[in-house]
Amino acid sequence: MSHPNNVQKTALTVTRWVGSPASIILHTILFIGSFALAFSHLVAFDRMLLVLTTIVSLEAIYLAIFIQMTLNYTTETIEGVERDIDEMQEDVEEIQEDIDEIQGDVDELQEDVEDISEDVGEMTEEEVEEERVEAVHQQKLTDIQRDHSKLVADIAKLQGR
């Protein structure tokens, strides 16, 4: 989108001013003044109409040119905005694709967390089982040591007889 040059700025300013209440008031005063000059016989009526018609015609020509320049500039500006909107739409679509990919990654991570949680649960069950087996082995070892002590004592008794 281009910035307006000096001529375009002038066209924008003139068309903005012509559409204002101040412009209506000024033109009304000028027309009343022109007719007042003619009716007061300070200027011939035909001459006043000729000058007024020429001024109004030139004003209309320049206004038409300025209005067209303003329209052209506005059209360029709108086209630039449309291009920007298209680019933004493409960016939004790319961002949506990225969000979809991230959502997929989050889903995969969630599955991994669930798997790890299950593994932790299984490890805890395995540890409980290992402790139970260890307790059984410890009990058997204690029983063996007790039985061994009895056997040693029984052997000692038998030898002492």
The predicted pLDDT at position 41 comes to 94
Q: What is the DSSP letter of 40?
A: T
Cβ atoms 62, 18 nearer than 8 A: no
Cβ atoms 11, 66 nearer than 8 A: yes
Higher pLDDT, 4 or 97: 97
**According to the per-residue pLDDT averaged within each range, which of 6-15, 24-33, 96-105 is highest?**
24-33
Higher pLDDT, 122 or 74: 74
The predicted pLDDT at position 23 comes to 92
pLDDT 10s digits, 24-49? 999 999 999 999 999 999 999 999 99
Average pLDDT, the chain: 88
% of the chain with per-residue pLDDT over 90: 43
The predicted pLDDT at position 18 comes to 87
Residue with tokens 């006043």: 48
Is the pLDDT at 7 greater than 70, yes or no?
yes
Question: Residue range 142-159: average pLDDT?
Answer: 84
| Other Cβ atoms within 10 Å of 77 Cβ, number | 14
The predicted pLDDT at position 2 comes to 62
By CB neighbour count within 10 A (0-12 exposed, 13-18 middle, 19+ buried), where does 52 fall?
middle
Q: Which pTM does this prediction carry?
A: 0.51
The predicted pLDDT at position 161 comes to 63
**According to the per-residue pLDDT averaged within each range, which of 5-19, 40-54, 69-83 is highest?**
40-54
d(CA 102, CA 152): 73
Question: Residue range 63-86: average pLDDT?
Answer: 90
Distances (CA, A) of 12 to 6, 27, 33, 124, 136: 10, 19, 28, 79, 97
d(CA 142, CA 148): 10
H runs (alpha helix) in the chain: 6-18, 21-39, 45-160
Distances (CA, A) of 93 to 4, 81, 87, 101, 106: 32, 18, 10, 12, 20
